[in-house]
Amino acid sequence: MVEKLILDEKRLALTLKRLAQQIVEQHRDINQLVLVGIQPRGVWMANRIMQLMQEENASYKPALGKLDISFYRDDVRQDANIKSYTTEMQFSIANKKVILIDDVLYTGRTIRAALDALLAFGRPAKVELMVLIDRKFSRDLPIHADYVGQAVDTFNQQKVKVKWKEKDGIDAVIAVE
């Protein structure tokens, strides 16, 4: 197993800060904004983005949700071992601008499932996608991110792993072969 470092702790922190600033710049009306992290790893990123936005401006407090897509996946009938998580969305997204957040954009299937799951909470005015890592040449579906931390070229047999302090004890992004 060969590992290649894509982002170390310092570069990951800088990338997250830049992404948070982009949201602040693009969304002046914070009352219409909702951040939704896709369970599990997108939630850690969404929490960090929210924290960084509030460090930038303490009055920025958009709604923050956690979305479980387990039973919206297109392979749910093929994999009996799919782990489910909790969805925490104590608000409607009707007529709101939703930023869907995940750590890695790969085939696009997770995002498709998330879009289906979101509709249970209302019809948003707009949905944008934020990802830390975009594996840009591996899409199965025509999905692209509006906010990208870093685009990487990888082979299909490689995996991109985002390590979060909250779960893994360190912050880093690595490619594994």
pLDDT at 82 over 80: no
Cα→Cα distances 78→10, 57, 75, 106, 173, Å: 39, 45, 5, 20, 29
Which pLDDT score, from 0 to 100, does residue 156 have?
Answer: 79
Average pLDDT score over the chain: 91
Please say if the pLDDT value at position 83 is more than 80: no
Q: How many residues does the chain have?
A: 177
Longest Cα pair distance anywhere in the chain, in angstroms? 47
Q: Model confidence at 81, in pLDDT bands (50, 70, 90)? A: low
Collapsing DSSP to helix, strand or coil, 165 comes out as helix
What pLDDT is stored for residue 21 in this prediction?
94
pLDDT of residue 80: 59
In this predicted structure, the answer to whether residue 84 has a pLDDT above a threshold of 80 is no
Angle at 98 between CA 120 and CA 42, to 5 degrees: 85
- Asked if pLDDT for residue 77 goes beyond 70, the answer is no
CA distances from 82 to 69, 79, 104, 106, 146 (A): 10, 6, 18, 18, 28
pLDDT tens digit string along 28-49? 888 899 999 999 999 999 999 9
User: Which DSSP letter does residue 154 get?
Assistant: -
pLDDT higher at 139 or 1: 139
Return the CA Rg of the chain: 16
Residue 10 φ then ψ, to 5°? -65, -45
Average pLDDT over residues 109-114: 94
- In whole angstroms, give the CA distance from residue 24 to residue 21: 5
What residues are paired with 46 via a beta bridge?
none
Sheet holding 147-152, edge to edge: 63-67, 33-38, 97-105, 126-135, 147-152
Condensed to tens digits (0 to 9), the pLDDT of residues 133-172 reads: 999 888 899 999 999 999 998 877 889 999 999 899 999 9
- The yes-or-no verdict on residue 126 having pLDDT over 90 is yes
What are the angstrom distances between the C-alpha of 22 and each of 56, 80, 94, 138? Answer: 11, 39, 23, 25
Give the CATH architecture of domain 9-71+86-156: 3-Layer(aba) Sandwich (3.40)
What pLDDT, on a 0 to 100 scale, did the predictor assign at position 56?
Answer: 82
pLDDT exceeds 90 at position 121: yes
